[in-house]
């Protein structure tokens, strides 16, 4: 029996033709193992499966369910629903979640820290050919074996505790073991550059809120502002002076990081944006004077690769480094692309921005020539990120698809699944002020902090956009 994704034209057909008619039978679940349209409090689940049958179905008698399956319309992007799936899995204490729109299928696993990880992904056409891989994760027999193994492990741990010290808890044994034998892991710091040679496409908004999203996930984040306009420095609340004589940045910013290899290291430059986001993001600021020093740095041959060296010195301090770049093809754009592992290209997909993608490709090719000369792998383009996208329904229905199609077809660039929509809370958050001594003082916030101040559906949707983007990036770079 095979599955044909073209048969699914709406959400109901995804449920009936993929989930019920094909997927559940292939995973050995019979009618008494799964339940449809399950309502728990304010949650409505499309499909819930249980490794052990429960007839009649009474929610109070259900132990943690095995799988929560959510079906979406074939036109919807799955990554947009991962945040909601995470909430379902945590509320229900479920182990696995499945998102599918017929065109794609994603399997997420929930860990002990209530985070979810994408553990399997395939297109609709691949579901039939990869059903054995899906069965190995979600099959009824596999999950029953996992439950049995969990019970055995728990029994062994309890026996050990009882024999060695009846008053000692399992958790305290684990803590002692961790303290006695710390796990040493190699550095996995990833460096992302956010670049487009056209201005006004949302580079700074993407950079600062993406950094905030990673930080809220427990990542240690460093944000570097490489633009003389210093928009990222402003957006993270580091410009606190009102008068030029009080400027506390001009003597200690990103230029000084590049000026010498013998002094001015990242720990000397970094500032914490405590009020911008919780947890804070570390920032290497920029300054308007940066543009004055470009000629001097151009004459220093090693200045192009100096950031690589300085980042390597802090590779154990950070998980993610995000570099906001200027809308140009000069030295200050070149340095981040030389130092980065990955490139994100925000674009509003309007004609001028799309036309500029050819210049971006040429610039990346030039950068890769230099990277090859210093024995670095080519820069990996994660994709063009649709940003500042209007939420107008007619635009999304008629114009937006045509604009998106230009990116892979004409420019041969990958297009990211995530979309950053243009909503008023995004600009309001970065332009947030507070009153101090009768004056309105800039007090910018990440979109997540702004949601705490003004919890509106629009603000929450913008925050979710960045959670989805962060999830997509982590799935691509891990």
> In terms of domains, do 330 and 472 share one?
yes
Q: What is the CATH number of the domain that holds 97?
A: 3.90.1570.30
Domain of residue 465 covers 190-477
Q: What is the pLDDT of residues 417-476, one digit of tens each?
A: 999 999 999 999 999 988 877 778 889 999 999 998 888 999 999 999 999 999 999 989
Q: What is the CATH number of the domain that holds 457?
A: 3.40.50.300
Cα 371 to its chain centre, rounded Å, is 26
416 within a domain of the structure (yes/no) = yes
Cβ–Cβ under 8 Å, residues 446 and 277: yes
pLDDT at 176: 32
157 within a domain of the structure (yes/no) = no
Cβ–Cβ under 8 Å, residues 96 and 73: no
**What are phi and psi for residue 138, nearest 5 degrees?**
-110, -5
The half-sphere exposure of 455 on its side-chain side, counting CA atoms within 13 A, is 1
Whether residue 138 is predicted with pLDDT greater than 50 in this model: the reply is yes
> In terms of domains, do 122 and 201 share one?
no
Residue whose pair of structure tokens reads 């300085």 in the numeric block: 310
What sign does the CA torsion over 85, 91, 97, 101 have? negative
Whether residue 185 is predicted with pLDDT greater than 60 in this model: the reply is no
Tell me what the mean pLDDT of segment 162-186 comes to: 34
161 within a domain of the structure (yes/no) = no
Question: What's the chain's average pLDDT?
Answer: 85
175 within a domain of the structure (yes/no) = no
136 within a domain of the structure (yes/no) = yes
DSSP helix/strand/coil, 280: coil
Whether residue 280 is predicted with pLDDT greater than 50 in this model: the reply is yes
pLDDT at 92: 82
Residue whose pair of structure tokens reads 């674009």 in the numeric block: 347
Q: What is the pLDDT of residues 60-111, one digit of tens each?
A: 444 566 789 999 999 888 988 888 888 888 888 888 999 999 999 999 999 8
> In terms of domains, do 92 and 204 share one?
no
> In terms of domains, do 118 and 213 share one?
no
> In terms of domains, do 29 and 120 share one?
yes
387 within a domain of the structure (yes/no) = yes
Cβ–Cβ under 8 Å, residues 313 and 351: no
> In terms of domains, do 139 and 194 share one?
no
């Amino acid at each position: 029996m095979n599955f044909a994704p073209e048969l699914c034209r709406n959400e109901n057909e995804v449920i009936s033709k993929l989930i019920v008619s094909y997927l559940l039978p292939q995973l050995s679940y019979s009618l008494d193992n799964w339940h449809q349209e399950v309502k728990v409090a304010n949650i409505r689940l499309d499909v819930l499966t249980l490794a052990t049958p429960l007839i009649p179905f009474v929610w109070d008698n259900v132990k943690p369910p095995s799988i929560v399956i959510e079906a979406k319309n074939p036109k919807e992007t799955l990554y947009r629903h991962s945040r909601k799936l995470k909430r379902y899995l945590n509320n229900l204490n479920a182990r696995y979640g499945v998102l599918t729109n017929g065109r794609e299928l994603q399997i997420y696993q929930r860990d002990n820290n209530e985070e979810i990880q994408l553990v399997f992904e395939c297109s609709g056409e691949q579901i039939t050919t990869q059903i054995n891989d899906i069965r190995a994760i979600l099959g009824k027999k596999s999950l029953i074996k996992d439950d049995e193994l969990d019970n055995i492990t728990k029994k062994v741990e309890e026996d050990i505790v009882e024999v060695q010290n009846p008053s000692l808890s399992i958790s305290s044994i684990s803590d002692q073991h961790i303290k006695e034998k710390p796990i040493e892991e190699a550095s996995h710091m990833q460096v992302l550059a956010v670049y487009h040679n056209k201005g006004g496409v949302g580079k700074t908004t993407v950079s600062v809120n993406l950094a905030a999203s990673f930080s809220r996930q427990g990542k240690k984040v460093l944000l570097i502002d490489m633009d003389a306009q210093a928009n990222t420095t402003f957006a993270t609340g580091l410009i606190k002076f009102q008068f030029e004589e009080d400027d506390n940045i001009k003597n200690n910013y990103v230029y000084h990081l590049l000026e010498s290899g013998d002094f001015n290291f990242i720990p000397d430059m970094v500032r914490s944006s405590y009020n911008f986001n919780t947890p804070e993001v570390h920032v290497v600021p920029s300054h308007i004077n940066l543009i004055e020093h470009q000629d001097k740095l151009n004459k220093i041959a090693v200045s192009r690769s100096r950031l690589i060296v300085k980042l390597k010195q802090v590779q154990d301090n950070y998980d993610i480094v995000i570099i906001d770049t200027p809308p140009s093809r000069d030295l200050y754009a070149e340095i981040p692309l030389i130092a980065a592992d990955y490139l994100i290209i925000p674009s509003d997909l309007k004609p001028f921005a799309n036309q500029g993608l050819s210049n971006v490709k040429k610039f990346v090719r030039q950068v890769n020539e230099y990277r090859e000369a210093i024995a670095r792998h080519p820069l990996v383009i994660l994709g063009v990120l649709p940003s500042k996208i209007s939420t107008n329904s007619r635009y999304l229905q008629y114009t937006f698809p045509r604009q998106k199609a230009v990116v892979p077809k004409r420019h041969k660039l990958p297009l990211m699944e995530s979309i950053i929509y243009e909503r008023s809370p995004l600009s309001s958050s970065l332009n947030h002020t507070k009153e101090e001594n009768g004056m309105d003082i800039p007090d910018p916030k990440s979109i997540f902090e702004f949601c705490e101040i003004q919890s509106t559906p629009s603000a929450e949707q913008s925050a979710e956009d960045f959670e989805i983007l962060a999830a997509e990036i982590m799935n691509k770079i891990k």
